[in-house]
A = this chain, B = another copy of it.
Amino acid sequence: MDQADAGERCPGRPRDREATRKRILDSARELFTSEGYAQVSSRRIAAHAGVNVALINRYFGAKRGLLAEVIAEEAAFPGIIEGDRAGLPRRLAEHVVNRVLAGGTPLSRALEHSAGDPDLVSVHQERLRNAIIGPLAEALGGPDARARASLAASLLLGVGLVRRIEGAGSLAEHDAERLIRRLARIIEVCLEEDPGAGAA
Contacts and interface: CB of A to CB of B under 8 A. Distances in A.
A15 interface: no
Given A89-B200, A182-B195, A161 B170 contact: no
Interface in A155-187: 155-159, 161-162, 164-166, 169-171, 173-174, 178-179, 181-186
Given A170-B133, A186-B189, A198-B185, A154 B147 contact: no
Interface string A84-124: 00110110010000000000000000010011111011001
A93 B165 CA distance: 22
A27 interface: no
Interface residues of A, number: 60
A66 to B, nearest CB: 18
Interface in A122-168: 124-125, 128-129, 133, 137, 144, 146-147, 149-151, 153-159, 161-162, 164-166
Interface of A: 36, 38-39, 86-87, 89-90, 93, 111, 114-118, 120-121, 124-125, 128-129, 133, 137, 144, 146-147, 149-151, 153-159, 161-162, 164-166, 169-171, 173-174, 178-179, 181-186, 188-190, 195, 198-200
10 nearest A-B pairs in the assembled complex, by CB-CB distance: A158-B158, A116-B116, A115-B116, A90-B200, A154-B158, A150-B170, A188-B199, A146-B170, A185-B198, A147-B173
19 contacts: A114-B118, A115-B116, A116-B161, A117-B117, A117-B118, A124-B165, A129-B165, A144-B173, A144-B174, A147-B170, A147-B179, A151-B186, A155-B186, A157-B162, A158-B158, A158-B161, A182-B198, A185-B195, A186-B189
